[in-house]
């Protein structure tokens, strides 16, 4: 790969060389090359945030709503679509499958509109090159099987937060009558000649993606499907609401039992994506960690009650407003509060790393237990480089808080780890450089601009 003389100079920096080596080893690196992959974020910490941050549509809702477009030959229009690298990856995948895409995701666009029109399924393969970058690609499996009767999806490999199998997705498809074979790194799924048949699906573990795939496959199946121990995340309720608007018959929204009465076809619909509860929680922590105040606009507290409860217990004031949620930690002494991650409505695993950054600056100790994913403490050694006092014991981490972290060169390994390092940098004394921010770009839109507008000293150093 060629690079400019300027980047030659940069590459002599051992920290940059280390980052480049890590990027080489990372299957989720962007295809655009090193320029984007080498972007870094520089933060000079210690500024109290004060201002308003707009919260966008939920990435994880968009990533399941978009494949739902495969279920009908009529257009599905989504609004409040966030502008993120993962959305681009899903657009690329759907385009390869033959879906017509009409996007107006400009920052200035009033409703961030994306119209997906799957007149016919041109190809039923989700290739390795897209799946390796984004595991959510597996969410085309259910819709393709239901509509097209066949799907070929690259098996998602291991990732930075554990092995993350898809066995429960496959068992759900089999329960609906599909035949599954694994060959050459691909999942090959075929519906019986008469199409999928309604069935009882009992998930032994709560799985968000598994529930989404099962739901999307069941809506066009013949007869009734009961999905038990279903995940209850707001993104699933959003998917079910959209599917019902497309003509599906799903009951039990928001509960752990979904009843689906199959229909022969779905039709066009327009759906506004629910606010991103993880983005909301992340900026709530940004306010707390800088002992500042942020108005989070376009969201609501009902989406992240567990995070709010923990923030309040730590000493942060939270209030609903007409347009969002106000988070105020000015002049508050924050206390350590234990957390255990759980499926919704419990404390989200996607907020665990951010919580750890916050607890590193609270007074007293906090025990943080990760019960959803193995190996989701990759941010711990990086936080330790910033002076955090954290000890890991199996699936738990003990954080002993201190008032000040110190800026350092750190490296992100996944999306939430990367934002946790940005949060730590906001609170740290001196300069923090976060490497490999392409992880951040997968899930946080214009994060530097939003934080800078509220008083943070933060900017992006282009690779």
Q: Quick check: 95 binds ligand UD1 (CB under 6 A)? A: no
DSSP structure string for 292-360: -EEEEET--GGG-HHHHHHHHHHT-EEEE-SSEEEEE-TTPPPBP--EEB-STTSB-GGGHHHHHHHHT
CB 61 within 8 A of CB 239: yes
CB 284 within 8 A of CB 294: yes
Rounded Cα distance, 120 and 430, in Å? 55
Q: Which is nearer to ligand UD1, 287 or 372 (CB)?
A: 372
Contact pick of 350, 382, 414, 448 for ligand UD1 (by CB under 6 A): 350
Q: Which is nearer to ligand UD1, 165 or 223 (CB)?
A: 165
Q: Quick check: 169 binds ligand UD1 (CB under 6 A)? A: yes
Q: Which is nearer to ligand UD1, 198 or 348 (CB)?
A: 348
Taking CB positions, which residue lies at the least distance from ligand UD1?
209
Rounded Cα distance, 4 and 290, in Å? 38
CB 458 within 8 A of CB 426: yes
Contact pick of 372, 412, 420, 434 for ligand UD1 (by CB under 6 A): 372
Rounded Cα distance, 312 and 316, in Å? 5
Q: Quick check: 182 binds ligand UD1 (CB under 6 A)? A: no
Contact pick of 54, 209, 234, 407 for ligand UD1 (by CB under 6 A): 209
**Of the ranges 104-112, 163-171, 178-186, 221-229, which one interacts with ligand UD1 (CB under 6 A)?**
163-171
- How many other C-beta atoms are found inside a 10 Å radius of the C-beta of residue 120? 10
- How many other C-beta atoms are found inside a 10 Å radius of the C-beta of residue 3? 15
**Of the ranges 11-19, 346-354, 392-400, 425-433, which one interacts with ligand UD1 (CB under 6 A)?**
346-354
Helical pair 85-96 and 59-68, crossing angle rounded to 10 deg? 10
Helical pair 141-148 and 167-175, crossing angle rounded to 10 deg? 20
DSSP structure string for 360-372: TTSBSEEEEE--S
Choose, from 159, 242, 420, 454, the residue flagged as catalytic.
159
Contact pick of 166, 329, 388, 411 for ligand UD1 (by CB under 6 A): 166
Q: Quick check: 208 binds ligand UD1 (CB under 6 A)? A: yes
Q: Quick check: 87 binds ligand UD1 (CB under 6 A)? A: no
Interacting residues with ligand UD1 between 272 and 331 (CB under 6 A): none
Contact pick of 3, 42, 44, 164 for ligand UD1 (by CB under 6 A): 164
Interacting residues with ligand UD1 between 24 and 83 (CB under 6 A): 60, 63
Q: Quick one: which of 129, 137, 58 has its CA closest to 90?
A: 137
Minimum distance from CB of 318 to ligand UD1 (Å)? Answer: 22
SS3 assignment for 135-189: HHHHHHHHHHHHHHCEEEEECCCCECCECCCCHHHHHHHHHCCCEEEEECCEEEE
Does residue 242 have an active-site annotation?
Answer: no
CB 90 within 8 A of CB 103: no
**Of the ranges 77-85, 90-98, 145-153, 160-168, which one interacts with ligand UD1 (CB under 6 A)?**
160-168
Q: Quick check: 217 binds ligand UD1 (CB under 6 A)? A: no
Q: Which is nearer to ligand UD1, 238 or 328 (CB)?
A: 238
Minimum distance from CB of 366 to ligand UD1 (Å)? Answer: 20
Q: Quick check: 178 binds ligand UD1 (CB under 6 A)? A: no
Site residues, ligand UD1 (CB under 6 A):
60, 63, 135-136, 164-169, 205, 207-210, 231, 348-350, 372-373
Active site amino acids: 159
């Amino acid at each position: 790969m060629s690079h400019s003389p300027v980047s030659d100079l940069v590459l002599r920096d051992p920290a940059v060389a280390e980052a480049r080596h890590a990027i080489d080893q990372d299957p989720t690196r962007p295809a655009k090359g090193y320029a984007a992959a080498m972007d870094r974020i520089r933060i000079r910490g210690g500024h109290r945030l004060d201002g308003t941050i707009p919260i966008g549509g939920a990435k994880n809702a968009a990533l399941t709503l978009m494949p739902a477009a495969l279920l009908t030959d009529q257009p599905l229009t989504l609004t409040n679509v966030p502008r993120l690298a993962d959305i681009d990856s899903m657009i690329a995948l759907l385009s390869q499958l033959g879906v017509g895409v009409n996007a107006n995701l400009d920052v200035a666009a009033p409703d961030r509109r994306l119209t997906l029109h799957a007149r016919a399924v041109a190809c039923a393969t989700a290739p390795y090159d897209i799946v390796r970058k984004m595991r959510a690609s597996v969410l085309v499996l259910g819709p393709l099987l239901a509509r097209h009767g066949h799907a070929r999806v690259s098996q998602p490999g291991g990732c930075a937060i554990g092995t993350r199998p898809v066995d429960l997705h496959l068992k759900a498809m089999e329960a609906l009558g599909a035949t599954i074979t694994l060959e050459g790194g691909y999942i090959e799924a075929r519906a019986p000649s008469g199409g999928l048949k309604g069935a009882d699906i009992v998930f032994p573990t709560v799985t968000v993606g598994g529930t989404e795939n099962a739901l999307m496959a069941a809506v066009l199946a013949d007869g009734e499907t009961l999905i038990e121990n279903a995940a209850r995340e707001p993104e699933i309720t959003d998917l079910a609401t959209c599917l019902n608007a497309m003509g599906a018959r799903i009951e039990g929204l928001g509960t752990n039992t979904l009843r689906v009465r199959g229909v022969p076809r779905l039709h066009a619909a327009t759906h506004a994506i629910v606010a991103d509860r993880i983005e909301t929680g992340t900026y709530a922590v940004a306010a707390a960690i800088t002992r500042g105040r942020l108005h989070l606009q376009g969201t609501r507290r009902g989406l992240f009650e567990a995070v709010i409860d923990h923030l309040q217990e730590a000493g942060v004031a939270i209030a609903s407003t007409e347009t969002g949620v106000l988070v105020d930690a000015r002049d508050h002494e924050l206390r350590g509060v234990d957390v255990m991650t759980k499926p919704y409505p419990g404390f989200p695993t996607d907020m665990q790393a951010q919580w750890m950054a916050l607890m590193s600056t609270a007074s007293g100790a906090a025990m943080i237990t990760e019960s959803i994913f193995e190996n989701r403490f990759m941010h711990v050694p990086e936080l330790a480089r910033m002076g955090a006092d954290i000890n890991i014991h199996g699936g738990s981490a003990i954080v002993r808080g201190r008032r000040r972290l110190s800026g350092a060169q750190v490296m992100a390994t996944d999306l939430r780890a990367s934002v946790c390092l940005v949060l730590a940098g906001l609170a740290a004394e001196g300069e923090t450089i976060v490497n490999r921010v392409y992880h951040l770009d997968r899930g946080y839109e214009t994060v530097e601009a939003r934080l800078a507008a509220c008083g943070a000293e933060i900017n992006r150093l282009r690779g």
